[in-house]
């Protein structure tokens, strides 16, 4: 086995008994009513181009992206638009959604897909197809891939496409399942993306424990290179599985170390996920928008944890019911990881393009409502991967002292995990860091 690369400081081995085990995937029931949000990306909400009472087809464009950060939205089921729904997120952002009652026949589900050639297409056409089908970063907030590719076109340094097959968080199990089920599509999606941004190298950063996945990647890469005569250099770099190795900062640290040790030239790093590459493959080769999302569903309030392939617009309530239901009313509902995910207000919030996990947590797993004080144990300092002093920053932010510099915090949540007083250390610091960027 080649050298394993890991970031030098802090972090921990993250285990969660309530996360789904293994990578078996169940297909979720098709929802009778699909709640399709017009914000599934970082920018302005998409502009609805269909009306209440209008019938839509599966995969039909129903919301057009408006400017940078915005992406096209498509109908995920055929049916009738019955109403517009609106709700406010925990952050105070108002989201609107088109509610589609499923009716009629499906255009793509269960049908043989038409495959379109891509190897002779210029980068501009690949970018157009990716934008047209509304492809966004599926694991990192929803920035449109077309925006990223446009920015990379201005980059002077060589570009390396980095594919994050790093499973330091048990709630990334849906991405692990995609690697098991769609490795050919992921690898080909990598070649497509590399051509679209003129990347000189492709690097697969893979958790060193995933020996089978490393073998599958290498075999698939070789087969596709022989089939399509693709010259892009490929490297598979085994990396640590200590949380938060998946984060961009920690992953870049280990790749720069790899660059130095192996005398490689990586240049500008464009990091993306297996699920995003799978979606890029479908957009370019099948002319297909994102209709489904692989999503891990569970938590301490859920009877049985599972990984689903669910339609965008499926309500969380429906997924929890397919897990056997809730054993008690949840104290907190989270989209994403319990450490760095987004809290939601109710069970009717739908699955979106960026929903890789959904959790319902009992009171005992969210710290309760008892107010505690910092006991100055220093555990948060020892575990912080960026070398900050979370204890000091938290006290400064909560006691009205002069606002400290918090820009190095990337919200990994390590400090909250180890805090014996269960203080919202990471939440407080990372919120201040985001506000400092505004």
What's the pLDDT tens digit per position in 44-77? 999 999 999 999 999 999 999 999 999 999 999 9
CA-to-CA distance for 435 and 427, rounded, in angstroms?
12
Q: What is the β-pairing status of strands 357-361 and 332-335?
A: antiparallel
pLDDT of residue 361: 95
Distances (CA, A) of 294 to 171, 219, 283, 310, 338: 12, 24, 17, 6, 17
Task: Write out the H or E segment, with its range, that includes residue 322.
Answer: helix 316-322
Do residues 159 and 151 touch, judged by C-beta distance below 8 A? no
Q: What is the gyration radius of the CA atoms in the chain, in angstroms?
A: 22
Establish whether the linkage from the previous residue to 244 is cis, with ω within 30° of 0.
yes
User: Which range, 18-27, 281-290, 359-368, 386-395, has the best average confidence (pLDDT)?
Assistant: 281-290
What's the pLDDT tens digit per position in 157-207? 999 999 999 999 999 999 999 999 999 999 999 999 999 999 999 999 999
Distances (CA, A) of 60 to 34, 49, 367: 14, 10, 44
Which of 278, 300, 245 has the alpha carbon at shortest distance from 25? 278
DSSP code per residue over 9-40: S--B----TTSPPS--EEEPPPPSEEEEES--
What's the pLDDT tens digit per position in 193-221? 999 999 999 999 999 999 999 999 999 99
Task: Please check the confidence at residue 437 and state whether its pLDDT lies above 60.
Answer: no
Among 2-6, 251-255, 348-352, name the one with the lowest average pLDDT: 2-6
Q: Within 10 A of 407 (CB to CB), how many other CB atoms are there?
A: 12
Could you tell me the two tokens for 429? 């610091």
Q: Virtual CA dihedral for 352, 357, 362, 364, nearest 10 degrees? A: -130
Around 7, how many Cα atoms within 13 Å sit in the side-chain half-sphere? 26
pLDDT of residue 260: 94
CA-to-CA distance for 169 and 166, rounded, in angstroms?
8
pLDDT of residue 71: 98
Could you tell me the two tokens for 357? 């996990």
Q: What is the β-pairing status of strands 94-102 and 79-88?
A: antiparallel
Domain 123-285 fold is: Rossmann fold (3.40.50)
Query: pLDDT band at 150, cuts 50/70/90?
Result: very high
pLDDT of residue 432: 82
Task: Please check the confidence at residue 137 and state whether its pLDDT lies above 60.
Answer: yes
3-class DSSP state of 232:
coil
Q: Within 10 A of 402 (CB to CB), how many other CB atoms are there?
A: 5
pLDDT of residue 371: 58
Tell whether the torsion through CA atoms of 41, 24, 163 and 276 is positive or negative.
negative
Q: What is the mean pLDDT of residues 305-328?
A: 97
pLDDT of residue 75: 98
Do residues 73 and 46 touch, judged by C-beta distance below 8 A? yes
Task: Please check the confidence at residue 367 and state whether its pLDDT lies above 70.
Answer: no
Do residues 410 and 384 touch, judged by C-beta distance below 8 A? no
CA-to-CA distance for 106 and 59, rounded, in angstroms?
9
Q: Within 10 A of 249 (CB to CB), how many other CB atoms are there?
A: 13
DSSP assignment, residue 111?
S
- The per-type count for the chain, helices as H runs and strands as E runs, is 12, 17
Residue 110 neighbours by CB under 8 Å, 6+ apart: none
Do residues 82 and 74 touch, judged by C-beta distance below 8 A? no
Among 121-125, 144-148, 204-208, 230-234, name the one with the lowest average pLDDT: 230-234
CA-to-CA distance for 267 and 156, rounded, in angstroms?
9
Do residues 169 and 240 touch, judged by C-beta distance below 8 A? no
CA-to-CA distance for 135 and 254, rounded, in angstroms?
28
Hey, where are the domains in the chain? Answer: 123-285, 379-437
């Amino acid at each position: 086995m080649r050298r394993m690369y890991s970031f030098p400081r802090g972090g921990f081995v993250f285990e969660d008994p309530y996360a789904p085990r293994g990578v078996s995937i169940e297909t979720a029931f098709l929802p009778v009513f699909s709640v399709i949000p017009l914000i599934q990306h970082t920018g302005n909400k998409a502009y609805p181009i269909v009306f209440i009472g209008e019938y839509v087809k599966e995969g039909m464009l129903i919301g057009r992206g408006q400017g940078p950060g915005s992406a096209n939205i498509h109908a995920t089921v055929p049916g009738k638009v019955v109403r517009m729904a609106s709700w406010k997120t925990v952050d105070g952002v108002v989201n609107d959604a088109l509610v589609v009652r499923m009716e009629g026949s499906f255009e793509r589900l269960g049908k043989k897909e038409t495959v379109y050639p891509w190897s002779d297409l210029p980068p501009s056409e690949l970018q157009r197809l990716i934008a047209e089908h509304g492809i966004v970063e599926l694991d990192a907030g929803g920035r449109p891939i077309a925006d990223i590719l446009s920015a990379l076109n201005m980059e002077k340094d060589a570009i390396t496409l980095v594919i994050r097959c790093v499973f330091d968080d048990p709630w990334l199990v849906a991405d692990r399942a995609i690697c098991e089920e769609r490795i050919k599509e992921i690898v080909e999606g990598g070649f497509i993306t590399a051509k679209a941004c003129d990347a000189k190298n492709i690097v697969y950063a893979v958790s060193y424990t995933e020996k089978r996945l490393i073998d599958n990647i290498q075999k698939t890469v070789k087969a596709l290179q022989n089939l399509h005569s693709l010259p892009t250099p490929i490297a598979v770099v085994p990396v640590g599985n200590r949380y938060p190795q998946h984060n961009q900062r920690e992953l870049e640290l280990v790749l720069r170390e790899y660059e130095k040790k192996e005398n490689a030239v990586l240049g500008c790093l464009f990091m993306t996920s297996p699920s995003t590459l799978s979606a890029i493959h479908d957009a370019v080769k099948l002319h297909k928008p994102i209709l489904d999302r692989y999503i891990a569903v569970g938590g301490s309030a859920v009877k049985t944890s599972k990984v689903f392939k669910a339609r965008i617009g499926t309500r969380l309530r429906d997924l929890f019911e397919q897990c056997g239901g809730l054993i008690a009313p949840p104290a907190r509902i989270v989209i994403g990881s319990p450490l760095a995910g987004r809290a939601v207000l109710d069970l009717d919030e739908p699955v979106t393009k960026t929903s890789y996990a959904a959790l319902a947590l009992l009171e005992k797993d969210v710290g309760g409502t008892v107010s505690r004080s910092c006991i100055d144990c220093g555990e948060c300092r020892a575990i912080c991967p960026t070398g900050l002093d979370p204890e000091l920053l938290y006290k400064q932010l909560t006691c009205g002292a002069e606002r400290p510099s918090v820009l190095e915090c990337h919200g990994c949540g390590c400090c909250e995990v180890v805090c014996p007083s269960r203080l919202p250390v990471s939440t407080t610091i990372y919120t201040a860091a985001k506000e400092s960027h505004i």
